């Protein structure tokens, strides 16, 4: 190809796009009727959208007689399969969320807005809505003619069915979202009996109306004007990012092929506009990269289809970097500096989140030493300190525990008589005293260890180190 046979300065290539045409951004003055075509990128887009089945089916997966994933905000508990994350451990969830945010940045730096094109909520739901619209109202051209003319009774019935299906999907979306934050069985029971909490009704209503309006009516306008990621993605890509790109040096000048005289045009592009017809946001990729491009690859399918028809090589529109299109030698994606920076942050978040989950204990013990007074000198010379122990039970069951301690010889603990009952998902506090003989104080402090032993479950045992403070040891 011409663009790969010779080196083109990047500025000159940019000028070629400028000469090929100017951006014409749709600001909502006309509705986009995207054409659906089969192809490898359409197939990949379909398979990618199936990942959203997790969103719909995930809340109904049980784990140990409980909903596997449940973000119980009223109880301030986050259940992740066998783990329960309480507010004290929210840094783990923050590390996991930051991991996915940085992963999005890494993917964008390497391959552009593939999240927008293949996985985004707005993109996937809009695609479903357009599919329903096409099945009921016909091809894009037919729908445009029908919308521009008075509606018939048949068309009105079809539109009522369409909007009914749209509302059903929107309602199911709202119910599925609420199910991640509320027990799914209680949700459906409350929904059928109209006895849900006010917060659940509000969330359900917002998601239903939002899905119906964004995917059904606003569509590409959401990507162009409402989505913040569409605005910040420009700082994440550079000349080495792989994007759907029109080979302007090979395609220009354009010339249509007449049926009666199929002469070979100077440029490979025959100006069929099929790449524009299939674009969900209605942009013309031949005019260069634009904020409306969601890198879905559907224009690649359309262009390859036309190239096959006219007997020319594929790849006039292809995933290519700006540098590669100009014939420059581009570094491999794993050798780029921004990928290394993003990757380092990514690994840090992954390591932190993994460590937090791996060290998440069923019981958590904290020891708070009273400072007023710092210590009490007994009549026999022994030193006594006072402590407040707080035991957090992160399990779903009440636990019977025994509190012990290890320390110097002849040290004694008082204030606890027998086993303690620790309530599920609750903090139990207890004050106690530790008495240490004076001869044990070779230094100003003496180390001790508190142990919490669970009856019938050794895996939940936990311990915490502390100190006994005595009078200052000053040399003569």
- Give the pLDDT confidence of 221-269 residue by residue, as tens digits: 888 888 887 777 767 787 888 889 898 888 888 888 766 555 555 788 8
**Cα R_g (the chain), whole angstroms:** 33
- What are the residues facing 464 on neighbouring strands? 450
Question: CA 80, CA 135: separation in Å to the nearest integer?
Answer: 40
CB distance 353 to 95 below 8 Å? yes
Question: CA 355, CA 47: separation in Å to the nearest integer?
Answer: 33
Q: What's the pTM value of the predicted model, to 2 decimals?
A: 0.77
**Which of 468, 458, 41 shows the shortest CA–CA distance to 279?**
41
Q: How far is CA 340 from CA 32, 110, 337, in A?
A: 39, 11, 5
Q: How far is CA 111 from CA 106, 319, 372, in A?
A: 9, 9, 61
Edge-to-edge strand list for the sheet holding 69-72:
69-72, 77-80, 83-85
Take residue 422 and report the two structure tokens written for it: 């620790």
**Which of 368, 405, 412 shows the shortest CA–CA distance to 388?**
368
| pLDDT reported for residue 28 | 62
CB distance 423 to 393 below 8 Å? yes
CB neighbour list of residue 107: distance below 8 Å, 6 or more residues apart? 114, 115
| pLDDT reported for residue 129 | 95
* Residues in the chain where the model's pLDDT stays below 50: 1-5, 475-476
**420-422 vs 399-406, strand pairing mode:** antiparallel
Question: CA 219, CA 126: separation in Å to the nearest integer?
Answer: 6
CA quadruple 421, 448, 374, 470: dihedral sign? positive
CA quadruple 107, 109, 113, 114: dihedral sign? negative
Q: How far is CA 89 from CA 69, 84, 214, in A?
A: 16, 9, 35
Q: Which residue has the tokens 């570094």?
A: 331
| pLDDT reported for residue 216 | 92
Question: CA 12, CA 18: separation in Å to the nearest integer?
Answer: 10
| pLDDT reported for residue 475 | 47
Take residue 242 and report the two structure tokens written for it: 């792989």
């Amino acid at each position: 190809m011409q663009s790969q046979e010779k080196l083109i300065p990047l500025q000159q290539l940019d000028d070629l796009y400028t000469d090929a045409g100017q951006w014409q951004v749709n600001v909502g003055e006309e509705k986009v009727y995207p054409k659906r075509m089969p192809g490898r990128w359409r197939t990949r887009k379909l398979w990618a959208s199936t990942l959203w089945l997790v969103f719909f089916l995930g809340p109904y997966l049980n784990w140990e007689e409980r909903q596997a994933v449940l973000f119980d905000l009223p109880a301030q508990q986050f259940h992740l399969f066998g783990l329960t994350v309480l507010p004290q451990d929210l840094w783990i969830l923050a590390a996991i969320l930051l991991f996915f945010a940085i992963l999005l940045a890494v993917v964008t730096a390497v391959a552009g807005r593939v999240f927008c094109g293949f996985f985004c909520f707005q993109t996937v739901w809009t695609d479903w809505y357009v599919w329903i619209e096409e099945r009921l109202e016909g091809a894009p051209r037919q729908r445009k003619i029908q919308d521009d003319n008075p509606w018939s009774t048949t068309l009105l019935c079809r539109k009522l069915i369409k909007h009914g299906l749209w509302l059903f999907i929107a309602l199911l979306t709202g119910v599925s979202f609420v199910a991640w934050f509320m027990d799914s069985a209680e949700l459906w029971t409350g929904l059928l009996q109209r006895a849900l909490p006010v917060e659940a009704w509000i969330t359900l209503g917002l998601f239903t109306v939002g899905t119906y309006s964004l995917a059904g009516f606003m569509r590409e306008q959401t990507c162009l004007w409402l989505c913040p990621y569409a605005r910040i993605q420009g700082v994440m890509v550079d000349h080495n990012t792989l994007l759907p790109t029109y080979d302007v040096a090979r395609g220009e000048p354009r010339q249509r092929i007449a049926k009666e005289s199929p002469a070979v045009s100077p440029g490979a592009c025959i100006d069929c506009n099929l790449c524009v017809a299939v674009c969900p946001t209605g942009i013309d990729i031949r005019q260069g990269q634009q904020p409306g491009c969601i890198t879905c690859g559907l224009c690649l399918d359309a262009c390859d289809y036309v190239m096959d028809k006219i007997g020319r090589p594929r790849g006039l529109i292809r995933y290519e970097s700006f540098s590669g299109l100009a014939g420059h030698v581009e570094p491999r994606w794993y050798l780029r500096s921004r990928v290394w920076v993003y990757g380092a942050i990514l690994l840090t978040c992954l390591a932190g989140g993994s460590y937090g989950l791996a060290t998440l204990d069923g019981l958590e013990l904290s020891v708070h030493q009273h400072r007023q007074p710092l210590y009490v000198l007994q009549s026999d010379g022994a030193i006594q300190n006072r402590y407040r122990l707080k035991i957090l039970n992160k399990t779903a069951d009440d636990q019977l525990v025994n509190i012990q301690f290890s320390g110097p010889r002849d040290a004694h603990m008082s204030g606890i008589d027998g086993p303690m009952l620790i309530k599920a998902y609750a903090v139990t506090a207890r004050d106690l005293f530790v008495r240490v003989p004076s001869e044990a104080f070779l230094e100003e402090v003496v180390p001790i260890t508190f142990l919490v032993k669970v009856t019938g479950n050794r895996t939940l045992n936990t311990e915490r180190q502390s100190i006994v403070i005595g009078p200052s040891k000053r040399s003569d």
